[in-house]
């Protein structure tokens, strides 16, 4: 039981920091509320989908911005997707970076867009790393026979 308590504390400390540093917002808490005995892997599944989706979007955005003639409508469409999924998962910093990106798309400002893509990538890889650690902590708690602490 001591191991479980230690792991749970680690989890709580880690996730509290993520909220404090605005990596995650309340929407992530909403996702955790949806996880239960009948959907025990929900958060992990959604997080995996987010990673898959994001990496595709980053590739698409990179390619779109490298075109001779940039199709800003296409770029905007990808950014809209990225903003949507980061918002739905609670990845606040990624979402905010996407919002800035959208503005540059609307202005057809290519330099601004390129810079924003860098920023979005930066934020994405940061939160990806954090989420992977969080999912690992969850698995460790469950493997040790414990329950994921309720954050609300």
Q: Which residues bind other proteins (CB under 8 A)?
A: 27, 30-31, 33-34, 38-39, 42, 45-46, 49-50, 52-53, 77, 80-81, 83-85, 87-90
CB of 86 to other proteins, least distance (A): 8
Least distance (Å) from other proteins to the CB of residue 63? 17
Task: For residue 39, give the DSSP letter.
Answer: B
Which is nearer to other proteins, 7 or 134 (by Cβ)?
134
Q: Which residues are CB-neighbours of 74 under 8 A, at least 6 positions away?
A: 64
User: What angle is formed at CA 26 by the lines to CA 58 and CA 79, rounded to 5 degrees?
Assistant: 20
CB 27, min distance to other proteins, A: 5
Judged on CB neighbours under 10 Å (0-12, 13-18, 19+), 87 is middle
Minimum Å distance from CB 83 to other proteins? 7
Q: What's the Cα-to-Cα distance from 101 to each of 17, 57, 66, 82, 116, rounded to whole Å?
A: 26, 13, 16, 10, 5
Query: From the CB of 76, what's the least distance to other proteins, in Å?
Result: 11
CB-wise, 5 or 30, nearer to other proteins?
Answer: 30
Q: Which is nearer to other proteins, 15 or 46 (CB)?
A: 46
Task: Specify the residue, 49 or 136, whose C-beta has the smaller distance to other proteins.
Answer: 49
Q: Give the integer Cα–Cα distance in Å for 22 and 40.
A: 26
CB nearer to other proteins: give 6 or 53. 53
Structure tokens that stand for 42 in this block: 């929900």
């Amino acid at each position: 039981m001591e191991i479980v308590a230690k792991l749970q504390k680690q989890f709580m400390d880690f996730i509290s920091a993520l909220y404090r540093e605005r990596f995650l917002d309340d929407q992530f808490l909403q996702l955790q509320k949806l996880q239960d005995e009948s959907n025990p892997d929900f958060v992990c599944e959604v997080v995996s989908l987010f990673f898959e989706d994001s990496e595709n979007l980053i590739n698409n955005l990179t390619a779109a911005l490298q075109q001779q003639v940039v199709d800003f409508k296409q770029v905007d469409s990808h950014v809209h997707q990225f903003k949507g999924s980061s918002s739905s998962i609670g990845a606040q910093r990624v979402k905010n970076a996407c919002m800035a990106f959208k503005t540059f798309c609307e202005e057809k400002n290519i330099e601004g867009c390129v810079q924003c893509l860098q920023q979005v990538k930066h934020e994405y890889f940061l939160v990806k790393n954090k989420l992977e650690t969080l999912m690992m902590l969850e698995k460790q708690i469950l493997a040790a026979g414990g329950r994921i602490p309720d954050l609300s």
